[in-house]
Structure 1
Amino acid sequence: MKYIVIGLGVFGSSIAEKLTEMGNEVIGVDISMSKVEGIKEKITHAISLDATDMEAVKNLPLEDTDIVIIGIGEDKGANIMAAALMKQMHVKGLISRAVDPLQRLVLEAMGIDEIIHPEKETADRWAQRLNLEGVVDSFELDSNYSIVETRIPKEYHEKTIKDLNIKAEFDIIILTTMNVSPTRNELGAQTEKASVQGIARADTVLYKDEIMVLYGHNKDIKRLLEEHRKFKEGI
């Protein structure tokens, strides 16, 4: 995967380094040359430019990038302007940091794909989530085991947990499922609300596009998600 991380403060630099350690190609961007110098040996590339300047942003390899992460924190204006430019450039995936509820509302209204709250969520957790394709959210229990939220694929639609036999095939437990319904925030922007359906049982029926919460070894979860990807792409 290829990432661009804009804003190399504590959170941005941490997630850039973690994603690089996981084997991804990461470009770090910051207007501060000292921050660029401080991280350039730890990630794939580091560039000093103003991410709120359209002409400067055009120099970034946006077409070849899978996800752009806006990690700018204290300067909320720069954060929103950088996010707006990335939306205008039609990047494939866009994640932005929000430091307060109002900023989150503005970013949601702009249609940002995902919003990070670094005060509540660690860089390690987000790196883990981004490194597993298809993950909605994740919580790393230790270096080996995680709890992961992922969309239920269409091949599981209207099948029970017993029918799928995931525990035997992948050594993964489905802890619960979540129903997802559309809603709107205070500014009227479309968003989603997830409702937990209770502890999953053998006769729990799964429905495509809802969420299932998995527990297992990271390598087994990655193997399951890879199977979903191959099925989706017809490989």
Structure 2
Amino acid sequence: MKRQYAVIGLGRFGGGVVRALVEQGMEVLGIDMDEDRVNEYSSIATHAVVADSTDEGVLKSLGVRNFEHVIVAIGENLQSSILTTLILKDMGIDKITVKAQNDYHERVLLKIGADRIIHPERDMGIRIAHQVVSKSVLDYLELSDEYSIVEMVAGSKIEGKSLLEMDIRAKYGCNVVAIKRDHEVIVSPHANQPVQEGDVLIVIGAEKDINRLEDNLMA
């Protein structure tokens, strides 16, 4: 049985979520007050409807309470985002993910019971900044305020050296969880795994430790 998702708000972010979920074979209900947006996604989502998500009766009539996960992707209207989240929480939705506009919005959403808050613009800005500043970082994902997972490309300095020789865990407090080499992905590489120039190391660790690793081995 396919997993069912509802996406409320079919702007750039919400629409992208709809496309990604459908591509993964999920059933998706798209909801927006803008008829043009609904028409745009009517042939993409499993169902797409024009509806006001701040009306509890409307959400109930659409059967939203039967969906295991609802993503609230409402854009600039913070009031609608907050009220919609509150209604969904009262309806007993298992999992509610909400797009936040700022830290104040996030605090309110957490207080009313949102399960996960995302900041797509802020998070993308952080990722781009790391890619622009660093020559070795290809991608960056913040896991918490302190820990991150980073993709960094191996340079000539560590060509032919094994993970054991570099002793990354002991010296830098980071873990290499995978190595990407051409079209191959080496998951949980063993200590004697040699690294080749151009390999992409997927590293998890504290921000300060990742920076030390990059400065000393990747630069």
What band does the TM-score fall into relative to the shorter chain? 0.5 to 0.7
Residue in 1 aligned with 2:69? 67
Q: Residue 111 of structure 2 corresponds to which residue in structure 1?
A: 109
Distance 1:38 1:17 in 2: 11
Larger Rg: 2
Deviation at 1:198, TM superposition (A): 6.0
How far apart, in 1, do the equivalents of 2:123 and 2:64 lie? Answer: 26
| Alpha-carbon distance between aligned partners in 2 of 1:75 and 1:2, rounded to the nearest angstrom | 25
Cα 1:197–1:111 shift into 2, 3 Å: farther
More relative contact order, 1 or 2 (CA 8 Å, 6+ apart)? 1
**Does the Cα contact within 8 Å between 1:71 and 1:97 map onto a contact in 2?**
yes
> Per-residue deviation at 1:54?
1.0
C-alpha contact 1:176 1:197 (8 A) present in aligned 2:
no
Shift of 1:73: 1.1
Q: Where does structure 1 lack aligned partners over 5 or more consecutive residues?
A: 123-135, 142-165, 178-194, 200-235
Note the 1:126-141 alignment, pairs <5 A.
none
The one of 8, 12, 15 aligned to 1:10: 12
Equivalent position SS for 1:58? helix
Is residue 92 of structure 1 aligned with residue 94 of structure 2?
yes
Q: Distance in 1 between matches of 2:149 and 2:29?
A: 25
Q: Percent identity?
A: 31
Aligned to 2:35: 33
Do the aligned residues in 1 keep the contact of 2:69 with 2:96 (CA within 8 Å)?
A: yes
Distance 2:36 2:150 in 1: 32
Give the AA of the match of 2:122.
Answer: K
Aligned residues: 144
Cα distance, 1:172 vs structure 2: 1.8
* Structure 1 residues 87 and 140: alpha-carbon distance in aligned structure 2, compared to 1, 3 A threshold: farther
Given that residues 176 and 198 in structure 1 are in contact (C-alpha distance below 8 angstroms), is that contact kept between their aligned partners in structure 2? no
Structure with more strand by fraction = 1
Aligned AA (1:70): V
Per-residue CA deviation, residues 74-98 of structure 1 (Å, 9 max, x unaligned), is 1110000000000000101100111
Q: Normalized against structure 2, the TM-score is what?
A: 0.58
- The structure richer in helix per residue is 2
Root-mean-square deviation over aligned CA pairs = 2.9
8 Å contact from structure 1 (residues 176, 196) kept in 2: no
State the match for 2:187 in structure 1: 172
2:56 and 2:68 mapped to 1: Cα distance? Answer: 20
Q: Which amino acid aligns with 2:187?
A: I
Give the equivalent residue in structure 2 for 1:23.
25
Instruction: Provide the rounded CA distance (Å) in 2 between the counterparts of 1:26 and 1:197.
Output: 40
**Displacement after TM superposition at 1:176 (Å):** 3.9
